[in-house]
Structure 1
Amino acid sequence: MEKYRLPMVPGPVSVPQQILDAAVVNYGSADLEKEYIDLYKATEKALQKIMRTRNSVVIQTGEGMLALWGALKSCLQPGDKVLALSTGLFGYGIGEMAESLGCEVRTVGFSFDESITDFETVERAIREFCPKMITMVQSETPSGTLNPVGRIGDLKEKYNVPLLYVDAVSGLGGSVVETDKWHVDLCLGASQKCLSAPANMAFLSVSERAWEIIEETGYVGYDALMPFREAVRNRYFPYTPYWHGTAQLYAACCLILDEGLTRVINRHEKVAAYCRERALQMGLTLFPAADAILSPTVTALYVPKGVSWKKLDAALREEGLVVGGNYGCLAGKVFRIGHMGAQADMQLVKEAMDVLEKTVLDF
């Protein structure tokens, strides 16, 4: 595979060598080795700090969708009511996932270029529908937007909704996430975005209320959460843990915590502001609407008029810059610059924007 000198995709992001080097030579079954148990516990503690939670954190072997599916299947049964708050591809997709499990899903939908702002409509839906679970996305990667999870968490508490499920995969470690303060029961993350580790580990925080519901549901499967509740204490995991991946995930967490989470978030916000300023100066148009909350981890831009995405992408790659295309209704219309994790680097972003400007002007 060709190597590009300016990787600016919105995940999986480029992995620093020190994280790659963190992979350990494991031996035997991790369940039986004290070293792995210690590593798992240390990784959980580090993730709790990044997620701002005292809830337990489950660490699974697999890409982020494993946690998204596992949390739904471990908590929901056919006929359960799910209120899906949707502002983009992933928000609507989570609702569809719940429907596939036989749940009764009501979607409060917004345009893909918006953030959730109509709280009266959301509150009315909660009051009338009485859901068991509310689902939402904190950072909608294809759209480059953030959603105000805290406002929804307050409504969840006001109406005693049992579960708030939040996909924070592309925001965690690069934007403010306050799991406990926002009353999030299931906060979902993955290794390959702001944590800059390989795309092989999923994780999520689980509240005590969520654990009670998980036990009541009794779901059994590879992605089931229940076996993890006592896995460390019993030294018995439901499947062979990925020792290398856990070690790399821990190293990724340490990089963030050593720099300081607040500083890391500020770095993401700074490069995001610079990226957008440069994009506007060269005549490009932001995809999110004027009143949307912009994500500090990814910038979504309209493909310039008169240029196909295929030609723009090819021209950028010739210059060593690779950015992200898009999906569904945004495919071919909106592209994305991923300034997250190791790519939230001002010098890297400056070089990338220089290439983008030159390429756009050449068209």
Structure 2
Amino acid sequence: MLERQFTEEQEQFRLAYRRFLHEEICPHMEAWRHKGIVDREAFRKAGAKGFLMIWPDEELGGLGDSDFRFEQIIIEEQHYALAADWFAPLHSRLVGPYLTRFGSREQQLRFIPKCAAGEAILAIAMTEPSAGSDIAAIRTTALEDGDHFVLNGSKTYISNGINADLIIVAAKTDPKENSRQIGLFVVERGMPGFERGRMLEKMGNKAQDTAELFFENVVIPRENVLGDPKKGFHYLMQGLAEERLIGSVGFLAAAQKAFDLTLEFVRERVVFGRKLSEMQNTQFKLAGLRTALDIQQVYVDQQVAALNAGQLAPVDAAKSKLATSELLGRVVDVGVQLHGGAGYMDEYPISRMYCDARGARIYAGTSEIMKTIISRDFLSDDYIPFNDRQGY
């Protein structure tokens, strides 16, 4: 594989984070999977070490470095350590930036230090029973009433739904059925009228708490409104490109880990007197995957560079999300097949990775939605043919 571009400081950060995972997180993962939730102490320990919210300035409790490669390292190492059920990047890099992109300085000073320390856990609530990838179809409302808004509705499949202390809730501020006028509202633990439903049982990612949320006449003060309460749809679209890149980094890291687990197994497994790795079918299957993984790694690393330069286009993030999630599905499927009966046993990591991987083609936008975004781009009047981009 071509050499990857990380600074010396980032390589040291990788080693420190890897050590933290193996000392503080990995020993507890099995218990957390059985409970269906990660202990809150995990967030506090990560915050104390400076492993949450890298990007905010030091006044807010961060390191003041917005280079996405730090988060890339965190995501990769969690997957390599088989600890991705503790999805800290959801808190740190997927939800947290909404507070700095669209929140006032007062809101940042009020919320971010607690989040950086791991004392307050973040979630974002967009999905509803009848609205998934189509954000404009949400029915939850937040209607203006004097000096506050009144929030009513429900959300489902919300990651960190049980643990979260601060939840950014997307709600319509115009009750018209087809309106895209949406606001983003910070709901705090304990607000009257806010209730959590059951913790949902899932196919995979068992330690990631996922829940239903209910809002009945929840009073949201204006100081808990992020930005313009009419522009939330636009705000969400801004965040989706980075969210899909976060997903892409994780999907690819999981695929890399699944490949290594499978390679380790076939090197040891003997069938008909020969190691499985010596058989041409095994070699050809793994050769195809190894090539696809290395090519995709270059593309993802290029997208990280584009994000750092402020040039990541939503359509490119959609391409990456589509490609990495589909590739992960292929890798874990081949992995289970080459493990044989062992691959069907929960004691082998490839079995769990197979279950975890299925969600990759659904959340942050389904593969079908990604294909729709990509096709709209090349079918638009603004599309420039490839040759024309090369100066022909």
* Max Rg structure: 2
TM-score norm. by structure 2 comes to: 0.25
Could you say which structure has the greater relative contact order, defined with CA pairs below 8 angstroms and 6 or more residues apart?
A: 1
TM-score norm. by structure 1 comes to: 0.27
